[in-house]
């Protein structure tokens, strides 16, 4: 593309339900359309060489939705992961490493097993890491990291005064990856919604009124073009 690419892009996949409702469809149909957009954007990001992409697919708060809708979303995860298994050779050629990002407690065991299989089988594919944030919350992620340090302090292995920001970062689900350079939120909303709140300290943001199922590769190009024009000062001048 001739311009500097972001190393890590976060996508808040918002607007599936509204997309369906505006078309007289069930919310489940909206989530299926959102899954199609995820595939489209994920593959394009791999093709153009994005190092890391994080897709906010299901938050810890989303369990509050109607049981039928939650069940439909879980089935979409199952379908995608089975499809990924069938396409693992193609994904290997793309250099795609899949990474589950979220709390495991409360998730169906079969879905976790499918995620584990996909992650383990792609561990040596290092061109693009695809983080799928499921049963995820940014505050819970920080708590998970801090608890790990607290156990080390309690065991006498760590002096609490020696704890650094890097130690907390190393306990996050994105450990070893660059922090998100830019976070994309469609659907007209302009908030972070508990998404990578530690990692996003200096992230750029890009908003659009488009609903996620309508997000295209052309929109992706606009994100990258806009990002390339921004001057990131990280608190400097």
**pLDDT tens profile 194-211:** 999 999 999 999 999 999
* Residue at 65 is within a domain: yes
Q: What is the pLDDT of residue 1?
A: 46
> Residue 186: which CATH number?
3.40.1180.10
Residue 208: closest CA among 182, 179, 174 = 182
Stated pTM of the model: 0.94
* Residue at 106 is within a domain: yes
- Which residues of the chain, if any, have pLDDT below 70? 1-2, 233-237
Residues identified as active-site: 14, 62
* Residue at 233 is within a domain: no
Give the integer Cα–Cα distance in Å for 172 and 167: 9
Which helix (H) or strand (E) segment is 141 a member of?
A: helix 138-154
* Residue at 2 is within a domain: no
Q: What is the pLDDT of residue 231?
A: 79
Domain count, the chain: 1
Give the integer Cα–Cα distance in Å for 235 and 30: 40
At CA 231, angle to CA 192 and CA 15, rounded to 5? 25
Residue 118's domain spans which residues? Answer: 8-227
Q: What is the pLDDT of residue 27?
A: 95
* Residue at 235 is within a domain: no
23: helix, strand or coil: coil
* Residue at 234 is within a domain: no
Q: What is the pLDDT of residue 11?
A: 98
């Amino acid at each position: 593309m001739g311009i500097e690419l972001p190393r890590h892009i976060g996508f808040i996949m918002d607007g599936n339900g509204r997309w369906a409702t505006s078309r007289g469809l069930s919310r489940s149909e909206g989530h299926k359309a959102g899954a199609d957009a995820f595939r489209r954007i994920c593959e394009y990001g791999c093709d153009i060489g994005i190092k890391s992409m994080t897709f906010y697919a299901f938050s810890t708060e989303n369990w509050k939705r109607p049981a039928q809708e939650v069940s439909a979303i879980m089935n979409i995860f199952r379908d995608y992961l089975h499809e990924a298994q069938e396409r693992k050779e193609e994904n290997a050629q793309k250099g795609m490493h899949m990474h589950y990002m979220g709390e495991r407690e409360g998730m169906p065991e079969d879905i976790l097993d499918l995620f584990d299989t996909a992650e383990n089988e792609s561990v040596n594919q290092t061109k693009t890491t695809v983080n799928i944030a499921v049963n995820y919350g940014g505050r819970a992620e920080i708590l998970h990291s801090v608890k790990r340090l607290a156990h080390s302090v309690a065991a006498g292995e760590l002096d609490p005064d020696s704890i650094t920001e890097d130690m907390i970062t190393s306990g996050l689900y994105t450990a070893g990856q660059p922090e998100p350079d830019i976070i994309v939120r469609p659907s007209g909303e302009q908030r972070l919604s508990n998404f990578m709140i530690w990692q996003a300290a200096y992230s750029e943001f890009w908003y659009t009124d488009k609903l996620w199922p309508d997000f295209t590769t052309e929109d992706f190009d606009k994100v990258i073009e806009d990002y390339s024009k921004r001057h990131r000062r990280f608190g400097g001048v």
